[in-house]
Amino acid sequence: MTTSDKHNSEIPQSPELLGDKVLRIDRDGEGNEPSEGFDPRIYTYSHRNVQGITFHPNIGQPIVTEHGP
């Protein structure tokens, strides 16, 4: 799941705030190993208004499209 721009430059880098992030959605919680100090729901961070997400079919790497400077 993606979260959008909050017009606050501190939010994308925050390990606790969920704005400007891609969040984990998982039925059983397996494989969720967040970066140290980060909310476990955060999958990727440091975005600016994520508009779409897909995953590479062979390696599962997330690929996002975002808007903004």
Name the residue among 22, 28, 14 with its Cα closest to residue 51.
22
pTM here is 0.71
Q: What is the 3-state secondary structure (H, E, C) of 12-65?
A: CCCCCCCCCCEECCCCCCCCCCCCCCCCCCEEECCCCCEEEEEECCCCCCEEEE
Q: What is the pLDDT of residue 9?
A: 80
Between 12 and 68, name the one with better pLDDT. Answer: 12
Q: What is the pLDDT of residues 29-60, one digit of tens each?
A: 566 677 788 888 888 888 878 888 898 999 98
CA pair distance 62, 41, nearest whole angstrom: 15
